[in-house]
Structure formats: structure tokens, C-alpha cells
Amino acid sequence: MEALLCSEIPNNIRSSINDLSSSSSSYTWPIMTSSSSSMEEIPRCDWDLSLSAVISSAPTGSDAIGAIEFDPTGEILATGGIARKIRSYRLSSLLGSHDDHVTTSESCICTPAKLSSLKWRPDLAGRVIGSGDYDGVVTEYDVEKQVPVFERDEHGGRRIWSVDYTLFNGSTVGVSGSDDGTVQMWDPRAGGLEETFRPGGGAAVCSVEFDPFGGPSLAVGSADRNAYVYDIRRPVDPIVVLDGHSKTVTYARFMDPHTIVTGSTDGSLKLWDIANGRGVVRTYRGHVNSRNFVGLSVWRHGGLVVSGSENNEVFVYDKRWGEPVWVRGLGQVDRFGSDRMFVSCVCWRQVDEDWCTLVAGGSDGVLQILSGKRS
């Protein structure tokens, strides 16, 4: 098994999982007791999540999932990772299947390198998906025709950890962050380089995300232990520096235009108020994360944050409380969080308000789809 590791540790981890115990149960956190105080004072999960589908890829050796992305409609799900394949699935087909385990995708694109990031082009109605790979190349693919339609190689062969797109002032803008310490923004239509900047003084860039609400902000997570917010109209210097983690910031995600959630290999998530200068609003702890990319996603409609974990469990946090409100194991569980099977990627579906859908992928290449309504 090859793990998706942060820049500050070795690239390969191989271990036996024969001594791991099996667990796929879910539970709320903390466990309620008769001596507990009122419900208003205790973290609670307002959603009744349950397992809806399991998707297993063909056994081809290492198949750790590094990226999960829904298209803008929320109907098409794409995955990529160590296996050098972009697989796409139609969500309605997965949820309507009577099989316990789905093993075939609707389309499969073979790529020349291992993938760390995927993002759908927002201007092309789910027809084109962009990828960042271990060779430092951003490639866009026509999903229906299964062919590359655009490529840019500007990171000097250094691994790309994250890609994103936005529609701003009527134009599509792409961005990538890499081990070379740079963030690069470009116009996908022309392919020309527009801006290059170094947020962490040369430290690896682990995460990039545009404001999904259409604003001019760009959030960046860096191996220098900080996250940064830039105005893409003048990305010379950051407008906000988020200094509070003690190790690499692996993810930076917008909860809303004024609030960002960051994840780090210090084992915590943090909620930041970037509008009023309040800094850290809340710190979330419970999951295990000291060395791997485990995934981070926010469901903006429901105010929920999900993180993977190195003990092979999924942790859901409500933004109101620092403790998890729901936890589920993805099969083999290591309670000590060692370098064995772990949750490597997570993603919320964003289109619904009354029904939530969560997808989690593991270092074994297996996807689980969890869904539910408000309880």
C-alpha cells in the first residue's frame, strides 16, 4: 500500500494489515450518559447518516484514493489517486444499485502519472475535469471522450498537490499548488501563465481553493504551518495570514466568504474568521492525523465539516462544537493511528439542503457513500 503523504515525511509506507480488527459501525460523539448535561450543551448530530453504497475498484495493487469530486450538478462523481486512473460514476446509478459492492465505473481515463487532485471546470457543465499529478503537470480531460484536451507543465516536475477553478468577472481562472513552493494562476482558455507567487517562502503548497461563492479570495495551505488568503486581483502579498497550527497545513476550505476551515498534520482542524480579524474561532479535535493527507471537506448548507483519519475512521464535526458529532469506521480500524489503512479522502455533495451525501475513500481504494436526512 502506498500512502498519500505530506511533504515532510518519506514517500512510501508499506505494512501488513492482518492484525487489524474489523469495524464499520457508526456512532455519535461523545457517548451520552444519564449524568450528561442538557442537549443544548452537548455536541449532537442533526443528520441521520447511514451507508448507501460501497464501490470497490478492481484489485490492481496500490489504489489509494487521493481525490473525490462531484461535478457542478452533484450527479457525477469522479475519483483519482495512486492507480493513475480517473474513474467517474453516476450517483443515481450507485444509489439505485442492488449490489452490495459496485466494481465498475461509467468511464475510466488512464493517466500518465499518479494523481493528487481533481477539479471540474465550472464553465463546461461537467464535461471537462482538471487533474494535478505527481509529475507536476496539470491536465484537463474530456470525460465523455476520455481524451486530454489541455496540458500545462510549469512546476518543474515537482508534485502538484492541489488544483482549483473559479469563474471570476466572466472568465475562468485555474490555480495549482506544488511541492516547488509556488502557487500558479492561469487562464485555461489561453493556457498562458498569469501569476506566480510563493506563499510560504518556498515551502510546499499543499492546498489551494478559490472562494466558491464567486469572490476574489484564494485560500492556500502551506508546509510552513500557515494558511494564507490572497486577493486574486493583486496576489502580491496575502491579505490574511492564518498562524495557529504547529505542523503542515494540508487543507484550507471556505465555509462561507468570511470563514475558512483548515486542517493540519498537528491533528486538528481550525475555524477562522477572516473578515473581522478574530483569528481562530474554534479548534476541532478527535481524528488522528500526524503524517498523511486524510481529506477535508465542508458542507456549506449544513454547517458540517468532515475529516478522514489515520485510524481509518470518518469524523464529522458541526461547526458549532469542537468535538465530533458522528464517527464511522471504514472496515479495518487501527485505534493507534499507525501507518496502516486510513481514510485518504472525503467529499460532501453540495447541491442539497435537506438531504446530505458524503463520500469517503480509503488507502485501499474503496469508496463508501453515506447519506441521510435531518433527524
3-state secondary structure of 92: helix
User: Collapsing DSSP states into helix, strand and coil, what is residue 348?
Assistant: strand
Give me the mean pLDDT over the 247-269 stretch.
98
Q: How far apart are the C-alpha atoms of 115 and 2, rounded to whole Å? A: 13
Q: Are strands 240-243 and 269-273 parallel, antiparallel or unpaired?
A: unpaired
pLDDT at 6 over 70: no
Total Cβ atoms within 10 A of residue 262: 24
* Diameter over CA atoms, the chain: 64
91 three-class SS: helix
Residue 166 near residue 210 (C-beta atoms within 8 A): yes
What's the CA gap between 45 and 83, in Å, rounded?
Answer: 35
DSSP string, 210-266: E-TTS-SEEEEEETTSEEEEEETTSTTS-SEEEE--SS-EEEEEEEETTEEEEEETT
**pLDDT digit string (tens) for 82-92?**
999 999 999 99
Q: Write the pLDDT tens digit of every residue in 143-194.
A: 999 999 999 999 999 999 999 999 988 889 999 999 999 999 999 887 566 8
324-329 β-sheet, strand order = 26-27, 324-329, 313-318, 304-307, 296-299
- Give the per-residue pLDDT at 161: 98
pLDDT at 251 over 80: yes
Please report the domains of the chain, with CATH numbers, ordered by start residue: 58-374 (2.130.10.10)
* Cα within 13 Å of Cα(78), Cβ side: 30
